[in-house]
Amino acid sequence: MKNNLPNLALAILRIGASAMLLTHGIPKIETLFADTVSFPDPLGIGSVFSLILVLLAEVVASVFIIIGYRTKIAALFPIIMMTVALLLVHFNDPFGKKEKAVFFLLAFLVVFLAGPGRYSIDKR
């Protein structure tokens, strides 16, 4: 009998972290359709484009990761977004303010390195 606990652990991490990230992304969808988009622009590419990239990472990539489809590619989006958040947006903030970004970065880095596990569309 095979030990499926590592696969279960990967599924819990993958689904849990992505579901938590969705709670940050879904409210931002309304911001995209507001008359005036007010959103940080840490890369200097414009508020609207920055928001679209964040929505790709927080909503689209999260859904892909939850179902385990193209998981490694999808995990790159929140990894890049959280790296930008840490190094550009929250660089001078105290650790308590950076803590969520660090957690998400570590969680999606593990998902990227370990893959989605058996309980995913990628493994079917």
Residues of the chain where predicted confidence (pLDDT) is lower than 50: none
Total domain count for the chain? 1
Residue 56 lies in a domain: yes
119: in domain: no
Helix 95-114, helix 5-32: angle, nearest 10 = 120
Q: In this structure, how many other beta carbons lie within 10 angstroms of the beta carbon of residue 100?
A: 15
Please give the residue range of the domain that contains residue 100: 7-114
**DSSP assignment letter at 60:** I
Does residue 24 fall inside a structural domain?
yes
Identify whether 48 is part of a domain. Answer: yes
pLDDT of residue 124: 77
Residue 2 lies in a domain: no
Q: How far apart are CA 105 and CA 47, in angstroms?
A: 22
